[in-house]
Amino acid sequence: MKKNIAVIMGGYSSERLISLKSGGVVCRNLDKEKYNVYPVDISRDGWYYINELDEKYPVDMNDFTVTVDGEKVRFDAVFNAIHGNPGENGLMQAYFELLGVRHTSCGHFESALTFNKRECIAVVRQYGINTAKSVFMTKGDAVDADAIISRVGLPCFVKPNRAGSSFGITKVYKKEELPAALEEAYKEDSEILIESFLDGREVSVGVMRINGRVTVLPITEIVSMNDFFDYKAKYEGRSKEITPADLPADIEAKVKEAAARTYEKLNMKGVARSEFIIVDGQPHFLEINTCPGLSAASIVPQQARAMGMELPEFFGELVRQALED
């Protein structure tokens, strides 16, 4: 008997349109011989299952069911394709866990922890993983530019503490640029992180469990045509993504070990993608994405294909794990 799988997408953040693309790719590639696939748009205007005729059916938030032609549909599992709020910060996970609904992402606590860059960095440091120097600020805090620069140096990055897809990030070269960068970051979040610039090679690493074993996917090196891997570099073709990355064997081993350790120590589930900068032969952790981009051109699908998994198999494996959890 085919399983009913809801693919949630959209969300409430600036990443909404990106998430809709990811969700659409998942829906098109899940095996229709195994699954009844229900695209579900999560928006502030409501939660709706939208069929192939673009007809909307409201989701009953009391039990996450949908009634179609008089028949109530219950979902065996949820494929989470929401980037940002509320699918990557623990809110949807807590909701599903309260209802006893299986889903493809990690638990609500782990989602909330990893979505908060400051807290996540503090945890990974405890496990001996290198990070950049950083300063944390909350909206309304007094700004001591000299103290900040003394701590992190120049250039530095100003970024929202709880946001993704490089929204609100600025690379600051001069002290005079700091106020505008803070203002830009505060548009996305009331908390911000100011980090030192790490001068090295940037890599992105997907990790998942396959047959119960933590498996590191082929590494991707990111070469941005812009000043850094910003929104345009990520989504408008302003970067080269080299998969698998051409790294010396010893450095590749260090990156894979750091990525696997991060995944395990943060108690991840499903697929997660970590970002590192390699400085002086050592990987430095930037952040982890627990609901990474899943369009055909996104990094994790590239990595899955590089290890011989096409999208139907890759997405199917994530659903299978959720159903068996």
Q: What is the pLDDT of residues 59-109, one digit of tens each?
A: 999 999 999 999 999 999 999 999 999 999 999 999 999 999 999 999 999
Residue with tokens 């009331």: 190
Dihedral sign, CA of 234, 239, 242, 245? negative
End-to-end, the C-alpha distance of the chain in Å comes to: 19
Name the helix (H) or strand (E) containing 10. strand 3-10
Do domains 3-105 and 140-192 share one topology? The answer is no
pLDDT in tens, 114-134: 999 999 999 999 999 999 999
The structural domains of the chain, with segments of one domain joined by +, span 3-105, 112-130+198-290, 140-192
pLDDT beyond 80 at 255: yes
Please give the structure tokens belonging to residue 90.
């623990």
Please give the structure tokens belonging to residue 31.
């095996």
3-105: which CATH topology?
Rossmann fold (3.40.50)
pLDDT beyond 90 at 29: yes
Rounded Cα distance, 146 and 286, in Å: 24
Most confident of 127-131, 186-190, 233-237: 127-131
Q: What are phi and psi of 247, to 5 degrees?
A: -115, 150
Q: What are phi and psi of 289, to 5 degrees?
A: -110, 115
Lowest mean pLDDT, pick from 45-49, 219-223, 232-236: 232-236
Q: Assess if CATH 1.10.8.50 describes domain 112-130+198-290.
A: no
Rounded Cα distance, 288 and 109, in Å: 14
Please give the structure tokens belonging to residue 289.
């994405």
pLDDT beyond 90 at 162: no
Model pLDDT, residue 238: 66
Q: Which amino acid is at 26?
A: V
CA distance readout (Å), 196 to 150, 171, 173, 289:
10, 10, 11, 20
Model pLDDT, residue 325: 84
What angle do helix axes 117-125 and 108-115 make, rounded to 10 degrees?
A: 100
**Strand-pair partners of 239:** 224
**Residue pair 162/86 in contact by the 8 Å Cβ criterion:** no
Name the helix (H) or strand (E) containing 278. strand 272-279
Average pLDDT, the chain: 94
**Residue pair 285/131 in contact by the 8 Å Cβ criterion:** yes
Dihedral sign, CA of 189, 191, 196, 198? negative
Residue with tokens 């979505």: 115
Write out the CATH class of domain 140-192.
Answer: alpha beta
Rounded Cα distance, 126 and 118, in Å: 13
**Residue pair 198/284 in contact by the 8 Å Cβ criterion:** yes
